[in-house]
């Protein structure tokens, strides 16, 4: 598919019951130079909107279906039973999928992450209750894996800083084999570290994630999910210490959205 | 029926089990070695073994961390097992979601008789006696009002003996019935009818209703619609609801004979005389008030294209009984106020203020019928977390106060702010119109029995026998779905008016909206219910949550209903707005209520009350103490100490608007004075949000308590850079019963305290130019224990929000750089009555902080200008604990030391070091300024009381030099910070 270069890439920000960071994601994608649209899952299921008309799919944060049973589980099943074919085609077309927080939880429970061997419907990892037993809103530093194929973090060398806001963000792989494969294939994209880039225990690793993992991508690097919220650090004044530190105008999170937009412009 | 148990695989951390264990040990002082939690799903549906297997595997279990068993248990050791689930009829949100998940998975639909019930099975290991197991149930895991529990000992077979869930009675032979109530009885019997029915109507009101049903014209009209001469239960319930204190604010509108110092004054309504009057006076000079006191929330201008909206509610009684459910319901309930203001606002922030008993309150002193303050605190906090976080509204500001006076009656204030475009589809958004012929549509949740009599219940004191009918649990996701759908409907112009179904349910919402058109006709049987068996009067007044009522023009109804259907939101046409002058309600075509609109809404007679001011003043003490130790103790007091444990569990980032967060400073853990949000990503204009509350001052004089609360809210706004000339405020009065009777002998004094508070509100609001735009009152915060009545101290919360024209100008309270100059702004007086200094010394005193509105406003304007000009590095408000606490917090939040001289503080009169340090005089700040900006800063403050008192140091020492030139305090900031953080680090 070819899009007119003068057109802005189109982003579908998926809405469902309990999704609540849709506007935040919309703001970030708009600021990054794309054209986001918030679309309800039912409007895709009944054909009013078509996934194929967009180049980026954003699964935003929130509490889809209240996180009842387990976070992201019910929405993952809905995607599986209502939109599986559209979703597989979207990924096969070389387009981008980003999931943040609840969106990431949905992606791992659906299985599109880590998506080993192109099997996007097998759950190999999970996100579960923080070791602290608490929901927490706290800012964290992330180290980006320079060898990862992840499109969203291309060129990001320094540590990035942004908030987590979750109760179920502890990353657990099925077993050591899965962990090793994630590491070896550089699908581990971002990890929790301290301000000097060192790993640590709580609160540096805020939820007890195995191998400090905050976000992973699929083998292609085009499907990416993370627990922290890049969309909540796009402006300088969102930083918790902007009144006392010299900071650039735009927040660390914006680059992830800009990378996605540039990639679509290059590739389509 | 299937029972599916889901457990964590061995080796996976049971975070929830661990936190339960911690609470059992710390709160109940019972030693347990470990706690494992198993999720239990009782699936009451016609599924095959294969189907339930698919459900258990693909829906209920996480394949990485969990495993499941169907109709059998895990072979895991325990000494005591406890299962806790909801009682039938109580909202089970997870159960409802599971039904939806199963339907998706199997492609089937549950019938009305099928359901899923969730429970939790706790496996406890360690030496736990039967008594202790019982204590763990009632003291922590289960609330018997809404939950059932079962206990097993080691060796017992849980699966075999687990009590089958009793399902909601399948009221097959249910017959809707309408009772007629004979009011032609003695006055004693009239009152008995009111009391028995929880109508909370007084004798005069009962008489008036009786007389209405003797009016010949009324009777003739009733005959035409098939009604007799006696009121129906539906009618009586509607009048009780509409005329309730909750809905009509009878006390605030009463005629009061007030006596103080032998002088008597007649006051025709505290609301009109002081609250609304203040706004009217101020409004003569302000052009930004849009809609005040008339709608569900107050509305003021934000910018050229938007208005902003704010409402704060109380949800005290339900939170005392079920802290979690009460708080969820409180927060989702107040959300619906801005949603139901004008054509509806978008929700942009939440605030919460709680008053609890001390968390270390002696368990042995607690009556069995009262929940421990710590449990109430935990439950309420969790409720606000689920209500706020799940709906996706940032919780940006709040306060938590502790006092033994709140052990029996905790206070839970929940507030929500909104933003709305000034015009929607070419019409002013703050104006509702309801045309005759518009359809009445109920949107959102269904009606159940779980919310009957909330409006009238709030006028009753709690006692040991209080029933659970008024307790309900909110369903945040149901509301969020409704909120999203209604927003789409609003943007498409599909409705004319909207209001929330809060207290009083349909009776209230339809009743209020029908005032615009002049009447209504309702077919009650159309209203969807959670289960069969609701009588017409229950349908009419039930307060089941997550509902809104909208007026939809007939030509738009199809589009409206289609939109709701596509968003999985239930919407039902239940009637039509008319101009008949009648509230007309039918059930299955038969009239069950027929009342003159005028009588319902304007027929209520005013109360006549007496108020006598009888202040009891304690002597002013003289204390001597070690100042450093005193400072540590005040920092470690529950009121002053860090609330980080709570704040972090609320999402204050969602919506991405956060500019000044609740926690600020070098380690993101200092106490911010007020929040600032930037609601529109492409505009630098912001909203500052704060609150002021101090019931300690009210114990001495409620006049100065009120003035102080307003001043505190205002100076918090000013401290972060908000414009003092653009502040709007809300009042929330929580009181005991202020109506004198033999059973309530100091009712007249409580009312006098209310009068003085209202006067303080008027004087401070007018003096500072801060109009009230909305408010709420909650009386009867009393608990009857045996023969004693325990009332809360008069408590007034002032909530404020304001404009900051450019958020880039905002300042935070943390010291920024060593070498910065420290200033004290505002005069310190010998005002330690009700102070924390006295409190930790075990005394109250009587010189309560006063407010000089002229000097305060002058200072606020000057400081605002200085902040606007970028002259201020940090600014912190002085409140509980005075200058000493403010300066210490400034220092440790910035990770820097401060050295200052007590003798240089601007102070009036002879005061020793302690008094200057800990006086709680109003209208003061601790400010730090870059040395290069000192001249400009001092010029900006010219004419105000201020002094250069010291400087920020790099050595992390907090040093206060006494009047004698020697260090009165010299202590490491880390030590102070630890004292401040430790108490609530749970």
Per-residue pLDDT of B583-640, as tens digits, reads: 999 999 999 999 999 999 888 888 999 999 999 888 999 888 899 999 999 999 999 9
Which class does domain B184-255+437-464+473-604 fall in? alpha beta
* Residue of A17, A67, A135 lying closest to B649 (CB–CB): A135
Query: Which chain A residues are Cβ-neighbours of B62 within 8 angstroms?
Result: 70, 73, 109, 123, 126, 128
DSSP B157-185: -HHHHSPPPPPPP--TT------B----S
Residue A99: asked if its preceding bond is cis (omega within 30°), the reply is no
Helix, coil or strand: residue B983: coil
Domain assignment present for A2: no
Q: C-alpha angle A201/A206/A208, rounded to 5°? A: 65
Tokens 């387990």, residue? A70
Interchain CB distance below 8 Å, A138 and B668 = yes
The tens digit of pLDDT for each residue in B181-203 reads: 999 999 999 999 998 888 888 89
* Contact by Cβ (8 Å): B592, B586: yes
Interchain CB distance below 8 Å, A123 and B658 = no
pLDDT of residue B469: 53
Domain assignment present for A172: yes
Structural domains of chain A, count: 1
pLDDT band at B169 (very low <50, low <70, confident <90, very high): very low
Q: Choose between B56 and B364: higher pLDDT.
A: B56
The mean pLDDT value for B804-824 works out to 98
> CA B558 to CA B494: how far, in whole Å?
10
CATH of B283-431+644-739+770-810, one of 1.10.1520.10, 3.30.1330.10, 3.30.450.40, 3.40.50.410: 3.30.1330.10
> CA B347 to CA B342: how far, in whole Å?
13
State the complex-level ipTM: 0.96
Residue B41: asked if its preceding bond is cis (omega within 30°), the reply is no
pLDDT of residue B835: 97
pLDDT of residue B113: 83
* Least reliable range by pLDDT among A146-150, B248-252, B704-708: B248-252
- Number of Cβ within 10 Å of residue A245's Cβ equals 11
- If 0-12 CB within 10 Å is exposed, 13-18 middle and 19+ buried, where does residue A265 land? middle
- Number of Cβ within 10 Å of residue B599's Cβ equals 18
Q: Which residues of chain A have pLDDT under 50?
A: 1
The tens digit of pLDDT for each residue in B729-769 reads: 999 999 999 999 998 999 999 999 999 999 999 999 999 99
Of A193, A41, A249, A188, nearest to B567 by C-alpha is A41
* Residue of B93, B100, B655 lying closest to A23 (CB–CB): B655
> CA B39 to CA B60: how far, in whole Å?
9
Query: Which chain A residues are Cβ-neighbours of B664 within 8 angstroms?
Result: 240-241, 243
CB proximity B253 to A under 8 Å:
no
Helix, coil or strand: residue B543: coil
Query: Which chain A residues are Cβ-neighbours of B811 within 8 angstroms?
Result: 243
Q: Choose between B254 and B168: higher pLDDT.
A: B254
What part of B 71-110 touches A (C-beta under 8 Å)?
Answer: 93-94, 96-98, 100-101, 104-105, 107
Question: Rounded to the nearest 5°, which phi and psi values hold at B154?
Answer: -55, 140
Active site residue A101: yes
Domain assignment present for A253: yes
pLDDT of residue A1: 47
Give the domain extent around A143. 10-267
* Residue of B19, B97, B650 lying closest to A137 (CB–CB): B650
* CATH hierarchy code of domain B811-986: 3.90.650.10
B2-161 and B811-986 in the same fold: no
Catalytic residue among A101, A168, A212, A217: A101
Q: Chain B residue with minimal CA distance to A27? A: B681
pLDDT of residue B368: 80
* Contact by Cβ (8 Å): B389, B651: yes
Enumerate the domain spans of chain B.
2-161, 184-255+437-464+473-604, 283-431+644-739+770-810, 811-986
The distance of Cα B72 from the centroid of its chain, to the nearest Å, equals 43
* Contact by Cβ (8 Å): B20, B37: yes
pTM here is 0.95
Catalytic residue among B249, B315, B453, B584: B315
DSSP B738-757: -S-BTTBTTHHHHHHHHHHH
pLDDT of residue A132: 94
> CA B527 to CA B226: how far, in whole Å?
22
Query: Which chain B residues are Cβ-neighbours of A243 within 8 angstroms?
Result: 660, 664, 810-812, 814, 816
pLDDT of residue B220: 96
Dihedral angle sign, alpha carbons of residues B668, B837, B716, B902? negative
- If 0-12 CB within 10 Å is exposed, 13-18 middle and 19+ buried, where does residue B900 land? buried
pLDDT of residue B725: 98
The tens digit of pLDDT for each residue in B462-488 reads: 554 444 455 677 889 999 999 999 999
Helix, coil or strand: residue A34: coil
Through-space distance between the first and last CA atoms of chain B, rounded to whole angstroms? 41
From residue B911, alpha-carbon distances to B659, B829, B906, B908 in Å are: 39, 8, 11, 8
Active site residue A35: no
For position A160, which CATH number holds? 3.40.50.880
- Does the structure show a pLDDT above 60 at B452? yes
pLDDT of residue A209: 98
- Does the structure show a pLDDT above 80 at B165? no
* Contact by Cβ (8 Å): B311, B350: no
The distance of Cα A153 from the centroid of its chain, to the nearest Å, equals 11
How much is the mean pLDDT over chain B?
93
Catalytic residue among A150, A168, A212, A231: A231
> CA A234 to CA B965: how far, in whole Å?
50
Give the pair of three-digit tokens for residue B750.
């409580």
Phi-psi region of B505 (alpha: psi -120 to 50; beta: other; left: phi over 0): left
- Does the structure show a pLDDT above 80 at B540? yes
pLDDT of residue B473: 76
> CA B61 to CA A89: how far, in whole Å?
28
CB proximity B568 to A under 8 Å:
yes
DSSP tag of B266: E
Give the pair of three-digit tokens for residue B263.
């002088």
Interchain CB distance below 8 Å, A23 and B656 = yes
Of B885, B846, B873, B859, nearest to B940 by C-alpha is B859
Q: Chain B residue with minimal CA distance to A233? A: B656
* Residue of A69, A82, A109 lying closest to B97 (CB–CB): A69
Active site residue B652: no
- Could you give the count of Cα atoms lying within 13 Å of B808 in the half-sphere of its Cβ? 8
Domain assignment present for A4: no
* CATH hierarchy code of domain B2-161: 3.30.1280.10
Question: Rounded to the nearest 5°, which phi and psi values hold at B803?
Answer: -90, 140
- Does the structure show a pLDDT above 90 at B272? yes
The tens digit of pLDDT for each residue in A26-62 reads: 999 999 999 999 999 999 999 999 999 999 999 999 9
Interchain CB distance below 8 Å, B566 and A46 = yes
Interchain CB distance below 8 Å, B477 and A66 = yes
> CA B540 to CA B534: how far, in whole Å?
10
């Amino acid at each position: 598919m070819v899009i007119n270069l003068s057109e802005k890439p189109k982003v579908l920000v998926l809405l469902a019951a309990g999704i609540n960071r849709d506007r935040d994601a919309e703001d970030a994608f708009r600021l990054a130079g794309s054209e986001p649209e918030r679309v309800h899952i039912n409007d895709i299921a009944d054909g009013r909107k078509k996934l194929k008309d967009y180049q980026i799919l954003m699964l935003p944060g929130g509490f889809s279906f209240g996180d009842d049973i387990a976070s992201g589980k019910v929405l993952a099943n809905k995607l599986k039973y209502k939109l599986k074919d559209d979703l597989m085609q979207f990924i096969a077309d070389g387009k981008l999928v980003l999931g943040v927080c609840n969106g990431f939880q949905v992606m791992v429970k659906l299985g599109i992450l880590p998506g080993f061997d192109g099997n996007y419907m097998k759950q190999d990892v999970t996100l579960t209750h923080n070791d602290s037993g608490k929901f927490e809103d706290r800012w964290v530093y992330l180290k980006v894996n320079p060898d990862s194929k992840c499109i969203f973090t291309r060129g990001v060398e320094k540590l990035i800083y942004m908030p987590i806001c979750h109760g179920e963000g502890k990353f657990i792989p099925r077993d050591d084999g899965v962990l090793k494969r994630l590491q070896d294939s550089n699908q581990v994209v971002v990890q929790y570290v301290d301000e000097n880039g060192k790993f640590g225990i709580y609160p540096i690793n805020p939820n007890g994630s195995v191998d400090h993992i905050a976000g992973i991508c699929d083998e292609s690097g085009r499907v990416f999910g993370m627990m922290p919220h890049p969309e909540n650090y796009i402006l300088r004044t969102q930083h918790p210490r902007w009144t006392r530190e010299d900071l650039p105008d735009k927040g660390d999170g914006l680059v992830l959205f800009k990378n996605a937009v540039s990639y679509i412009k290059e590739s389509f | 029926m299937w029972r599916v148990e889901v457990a964590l695989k061995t080796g996976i951390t049971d975070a929830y089990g661990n936190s339960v264990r911690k609470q059992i040990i710390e709160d109940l002082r019972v030693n347990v070695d470990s706690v494992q939690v198993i999720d239990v799903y009782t699936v009451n549906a016609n599924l095959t073994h294969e189907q339930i297997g698919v459900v258990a595997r693909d829906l209920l279990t996480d394949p990485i961390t969990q495993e499941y068993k169907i109709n059998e248990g895990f072979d895991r050791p325990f000494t005591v097992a406890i299962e806790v689930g909801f009682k039938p009829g109580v909202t089970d949100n997870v159960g409802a979601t599971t039904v939806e998940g199963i339907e998706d998975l199997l492609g089937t639909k549950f019938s009305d008789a099928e359901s899923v019930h969730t429970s939790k099975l706790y496996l406890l290991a360690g030496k736990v006696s039967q008594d202790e197991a019982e204590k763990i149930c009632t003291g922590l895991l289960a609330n018997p009002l809404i939950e059932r529990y079962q206990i097993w000992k080691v060796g017992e077979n849980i699966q075999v003996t687990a009590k089958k869930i009793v399902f909601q009675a399948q009221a097959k032979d249910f017959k809707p019935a309408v009772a007629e109530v004979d009011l032609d009885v003695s006055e004693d019997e009239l009152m008995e009818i009111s009391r028995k029915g929880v109508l909370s109507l007084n004798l005069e009101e009962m008489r008036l209703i009786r007389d209405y049903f003797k009016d010949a014209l009324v009777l003739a009209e009733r005959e035409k619609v098939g009604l007799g001469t006696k009121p129906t239960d539906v009618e009586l319930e509607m009048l009780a609801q509409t005329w309730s204190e909750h809905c009509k604010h009878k006390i605030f509108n009463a005629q009061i004979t007030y006596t103080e110092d032998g002088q008597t004054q007649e006051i025709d309504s505290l609301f009109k005389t002081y609250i609304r009057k203040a706004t009217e006076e101020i409004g003569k000079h302000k052009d930004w008030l849009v809609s005040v006191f008339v709608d569900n929330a107050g509305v003021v201008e934000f910018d050229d294209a938007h208005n902003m909206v704010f409402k704060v509610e109380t949800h005290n009684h339900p939170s005392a009984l079920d802290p979690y459910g009460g708080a969820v319901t409180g927060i989702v309930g107040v959300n619906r106020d801005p949603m139901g203001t004008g054509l509806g606002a978008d929700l942009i922030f939440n605030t919460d203020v709680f008053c609890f008993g001390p968390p270390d309150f002696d368990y042995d002193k607690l009556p069995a019928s009262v929940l421990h303050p710590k449990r109430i605190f935990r439950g309420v906090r969790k409720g606000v977390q689920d209500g706020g976080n799940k709906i996706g509204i940032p919780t940006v500001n709040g306060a938590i106060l502790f006092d033994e006076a709140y052990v029996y009656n905790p206070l839970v204030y929940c507030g929500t702010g909104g933003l709305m475009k000034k015009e929607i589809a070419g019409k002013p958004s703050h104006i509702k119109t309801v045309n005759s012929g518009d359809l009445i549509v109920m949107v959102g949740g269904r009606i159940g029995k779980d919310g009957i009599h909330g409006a009238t219940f709030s006028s009753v004191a709690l006692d040991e026998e209080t029933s659970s009918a008024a307790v309900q649990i909110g369903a945040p996701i149901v509301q969020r779905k409704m909120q999203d759908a209604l927003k789409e409907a609003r943007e498409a112009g599909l409705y004319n008016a909207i209001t929330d179904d809060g207290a009083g349910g349909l009776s209230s919402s339809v009743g209020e909206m029908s005032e615009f058109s002049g009447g209504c006709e309702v077919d009650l049987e159309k209203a969807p219910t959670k289960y069969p068996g609701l009588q017409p009067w229950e349908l009419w007044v039930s307060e089941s949550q997550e509902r809104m009522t909208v007026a939809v023009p007939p030509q738009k109804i199809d589009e409206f209903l289609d939109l709701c259907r596509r968003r999985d939101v239930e919407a039902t046409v239940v009637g039509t707005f008319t101009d008949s002058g009648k509230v007309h309600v039918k059930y299955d075509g038969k009239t069950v209520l027929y009342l003159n609109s005028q009588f319902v809404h304007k027929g209520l007679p005013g109360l006549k009350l007496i108020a006598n001011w009888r202040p009891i003043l304690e002597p002013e003490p003289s204390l001597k103490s070690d100042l450093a130790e005193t400072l540590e103790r005040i920092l470690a007091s529950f009121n002053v100490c860090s609330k980080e444990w709570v704040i972090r569990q609320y999402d204050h980032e969602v919506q991405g608007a956060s500019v000044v967060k609740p926690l600020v400073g070098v380690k993101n853990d200092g106490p911010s004075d007020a929040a600032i949000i930037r609601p529109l990503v492409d505009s630098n204009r912001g909203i500052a949000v704060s609150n002021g509350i101090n019931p300690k001052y009210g114990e001495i004089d409620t006049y100065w308590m009120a003035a102080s609360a307003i001043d505190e809210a205002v100076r918090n706004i000013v401290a972060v850079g908000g414009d003092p000339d653009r502040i709007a405020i809300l009042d929330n009065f929580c009181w005991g019963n202020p109506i004198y009777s033999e059973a309530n002998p100091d009712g007249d004094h409580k009312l006098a305290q209310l009068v003085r508070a209202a006067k303080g509100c008027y004087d401070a609001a007018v003096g500072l130019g801060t109009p009230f735009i909305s408010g709420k009152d909650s009386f009867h915060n009393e608990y009857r224990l045996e023969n004693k009545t325990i009332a809360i101290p008069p408590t007034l919360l002032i909530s404020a929000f304001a404009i900051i024209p450019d958020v880039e100008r905002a300042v935070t309270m943390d010291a920024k750089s060593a070498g910065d100059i420290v200033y004290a702004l505002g005069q310190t007086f010998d005002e330690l009555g009700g102070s924390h200094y006295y409190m930790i010394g075990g005394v109250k005193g009587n010189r309560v902080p006063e407010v000089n509105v002229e000097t305060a406003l002058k200072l606020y304007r000057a400081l605002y200008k200085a902040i606007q000009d970028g002259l201020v590095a940090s600014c912190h408000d002085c409140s509980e604990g005075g200058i000493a606490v403010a300066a210490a917090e400034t220092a440790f939040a910035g990770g820097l030391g401060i050295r200052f001289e007590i003798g240089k503080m601007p102070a009036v009169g002879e005061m020793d070091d302690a008094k200057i340090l800990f006086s709680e005089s109003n209208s003061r700040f601790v400010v730090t300024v870059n040395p290069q900006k000192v001249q400009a800063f001092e010029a900006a403050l010219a004419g105000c009381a201020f002094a250069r008192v010291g400087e920020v140091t790099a050595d992390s020492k907090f040093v206060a030099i006494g009047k004698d030139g020697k260090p009165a305090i010299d202590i490491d900031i880390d030590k102070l910070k630890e004292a401040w953080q430790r108490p609530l680090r749970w």
